Structure formats: structure tokens, C-alpha cells
Amino acid sequence: MPAALTYPGVYVQEIPSGSRAITGVATSIVAFVGRAARGPVDEPVSIASFAEFERVFGGLWRESGLGYAVRDYYLNGGSSALVVRLAGGATSAELDVDRLALTASGPGSWGNVLEVDVTHPSPGDAAEVAAAQGVDANDLFHLTLREGPAESPRLREDFLNLTVVEGPRRVDLVLRASQLVSTAGALPADRPAAGSYEVATTAQGDDGAALQADDYDDGTTFASGKKGLFALAKTDLFTLLCLPPSSPAGDLPDALWATALSFCRDRRAFLLVDPPGTATHTTVEAWLAARGLSGEMARNGALYFPRIRRPDPLRDGAVGEFVPCGAVAGVMARTDASRGVWKAPAGIDAGLAGVSGLTVNLADSENGALNPKGINCLRTFRGVGSVVWGARTLRGADILSDEYKYVPVRRLALFLEESLYRGSQWVVFEPNDEPLWSQVRTTLGAFMQDLFRQGAFQGRTPREAYFVRCDGETTTQYDIDRGIVNILVGFAPLKPAEFVVIGIQQKTTSASA
């Protein structure tokens, strides 16, 4: 009813329908954590292509497997990614521009080639600009920043009419937009002298050392740290996690896998575990068992064996060995986009682009020994190439009989959990009674029905495929008194056809009389 009925006539008001739509979250936002040549440290950076990775993080680097994994991801159909750079103790190059201290925007030896030119505007040109800024004309100066020689810089930036005194173009504030440098320490009292400046030998940066376990997890809490692996806590959502090693052919610190798996469980994400470079079909099971990747949290991870072989552009095309996580993540992203998260990212359609071979060529018998133990194999078939040939989680061993045995079932469940969690926030503080419960059933039911139409669930009818319950049975008066509303959502998952059995028999016909 309108707030006040004051005059005779017709009043019009808009009545809310109570309809709310739930939007499914993205299923293939892949987080990469590792060592890079350049870029911000301990900060998740969103990228949409390998070209963007090259611009921000320097592209492929012989000292790290990160760039190769990101490249494999995009070669195999990847879309969105988050990259967290770990520095491994690397230091930043520093420049002394006549008492104006500058430091490279990120650690690494890349900053050692930085050059800075300082010029002063002519008095006639400076007067009008200085008056507009409310500063003296003698306070203005121009900065030209270059990465590399003046003849062919990789990147050049020009900043005009800067000052070291208070004003709208104060140098420390303006350089926050620079991709190359930032100011360090207090600003000098006067503008720097005109001239060219380079990084001194004694102030050069370095690339640090190979990453250790404490570079990923130094023991600080989320509240005080959010560094290393846990820098991903600063981002809103990621669904897959890849941890490429410090060197392309290296291994991750053993203690890190269990930490990463626990983190993925807390964030409703899925971990792609890479085998060690020396693993064989007879040793990979023991290696996995020794990593502590067990219990219910193991539902949120999968191991893919063996490693992949592919040409290395940094070694004139010589074939090198690399972890498969990036390529497998790309296959998952490609499958999600074309078929849905409920489709197993495996089979002859799950080809590994850019891969010239595998470090171990598995026979059917060897594959048959690993698959029942929850180890997904990469295989090479004639006429097909290298493909993903397994779809089990780390809880996929036959002996465990886990309900989340298969990768697509677990990833579908994580998708539903995250989507329903985000799509049900409006329920908080609503009156806890039948009208609310009815709205909940309608909203969540419409979301599940849409997925049913797309073929996400088993069953011929919605009743067989899913249910949404929110009523006086799920939420009792005791729950209402405590401010609780209970919603129960069930679904019948599609499970991959792992084993196809074809029976052939001879057909005999009797002679007609």
C-alpha cells in the first residue's frame, strides 16, 4: 500500500515479484602460483591470454616452470587465469636520480637495464603550468623511463611536469601508475638535476633462488600474511590450482602438496597434482602415498601421470620435459566451455595440444594397474596423439568406494556449492517463515531445473534428477528460534563411462521349412 492516501484517485505502486535468479559461477578460473622473471610479488593478477602474461610477468623463463604451464593452459583452450608471483628472495634494482631515490617496480635482474632521463621545461613553458598547479616554475621537471637502451627499449614511459613539492603532480603519486619504477624513501627538497641516470653496479637486483616450502607457506596466518600460496585469499574466486615447480624439470617441495590441498578444500577449488620428474609407473603410487594426500580433502585433487614432452622455444626447439598441470587445466577449461563441468575432461576429445610426447609411454596393463588406485594416466594413441585418459580424484581408488570418486562429479558438486552459496545471500535476515521457504524453493529450483535441461544430472525427469527442500520439516521451530533456515539440495550426478564392454556373438539362423 502507498505510504499515504491523501486525495481521492488512483494510486499505482510497484510490487516485488519475489523472483530472484541464481547465476552459476565460473568453473575454470585457474590459479597459477610460482616463480617469474618480473611482476608484482604476492599479489594475484588476473590475465586473459599468454600475451598478457608476457607483458606483466616476462613470459617464458628458463629458471621457472610457471611460464611453460601458463602457455600450455592457453594452448589447450584456457581462458581466465590468476597468477601469483613468488620472488624466492629476489631483490629490486635501485636508481639514485640526484637524490630522488627510485626502485624497480618488482624484484629481479630485469630492472638492471632501467634508464632514466631528467629534463627541465623552459621557463616560458613552465610558467603557465606551474601557475595552474600552484607551484614554482623551478619545481617542474620531466621524467623519461626506459627498460633497455634508448635505441630499442622494451618499454618506455614519459611523465611530464612532475614536482617533488606538494602539488597535483607530485612525483611519488604520479609514479604509482608506472610499470617500471616507484619512489623510495623521502622526496628531496629540490627537483633532480637534468641528465641521464642508470642503475649502479652496487644497486642491481637479482632473481633470487629456487623456491622453498616457506616461500609458499611461511607460517603466517591469513590475517597477518596472505603471502605465497595464501595470496590467493585476496581474490574472490578461483576453481583450479596449479603449482608449477621453480625449474621446468624440477619438483615442488613435498610438504606443500598437503597444504595446497587443504587450502583448496577451504576455497571450494580443485588441485592438479604433478608427478615428480623421476616417477615411473611402479613408483608413482608410493610417491603419492608419502605426500599425505588422503582423507576427505583428497576429493578436491587429482594426479595426472606422467609428465609431458614438448619443444622449448628458449632452447631452439629442443624437446624438454614439463609438468602437465597447465595442459590438463586447459583441457578442463575447454571441456567446461563446450560440454559443461559435468563432462569428464578425458577421452579422445581431450587431446593435449602442443605436446610431442610423454616421459613414460604406458601400456594398457600399466594403465590398468594405476587407474584402480586413483592415478589418472596420460596416454598416446596412434592417430589421436597425447590425451588425458583418466578422470578420478585422489579419492578415486576402488578400495575407498568414495562417492566423489570421479573428477566431474566432484567439480560439479563444488560448482553447485559455490553457486548456491553466493546465490542465497539474500536469504540472510529475511523473515524465517513459509513465504521465505517458498521463495527459496522457487529460486533454487529454477537454477537446478536449468542445469537439468542442459544435461547436468542423471534422470529422465526433474524428480529423478534433483530436489530442493526448505519447509517445516527441514527447519523446525527450534531452528527458527535460533535464527536458522535449513535448505537441502540433492542431485543425481552423471558418472563417466569408464569401461565400455562390447559383447559379440555369432547369430545363427534356422533354415525355413
Residues of each domain in the chain carrying CATH 3.40.50.11780: 30-85+215-409
Model pLDDT, residue 1: 58
197-240 pLDDT, tens digit each = 999 989 999 999 999 999 998 876 554 568 899 999 999 999 99
Residues 339-380 have pLDDT tens digits of 999 999 999 999 999 999 999 999 999 999 999 999 999 999
Taking the C-alpha atoms of residue 74 and residue 48, their distance in angstroms, rounded to an integer, is 9
Quick one: pLDDT at residue 150?
82
| pLDDT at res. 485 | 97
CA distances from 22 to 417, 445, 475, 494 (A): 12, 10, 22, 22
Listed residue (390, 323, 319) closest to 350, CA to CA: 390
Nearest-angstrom CA–CA distance, 53 and 407? 28
Residue 101 has a pLDDT of 95
* Rounded-to-integer distance, Cα 484 and Cα 477, Å: 9
| Residues of the chain predicted below pLDDT 70 | 1-2, 220-225, 510-513
Sequence ranges of the chain with CATH classification 2.60.40: 94-203
C-alpha cell at 495: 558418472
Q: CATH code for 30-85+215-409?
A: 3.40.50.11780
CATH entry 2.50.20 includes domain 94-203:
no
* Edge-to-edge strand list for the sheet holding 141-147: 155-162, 141-147, 114-119, 195-198
> How far is Cα 69 from Cα 32, in angstroms, rounded to an integer?
8
C-alpha cell at 149: 637502451
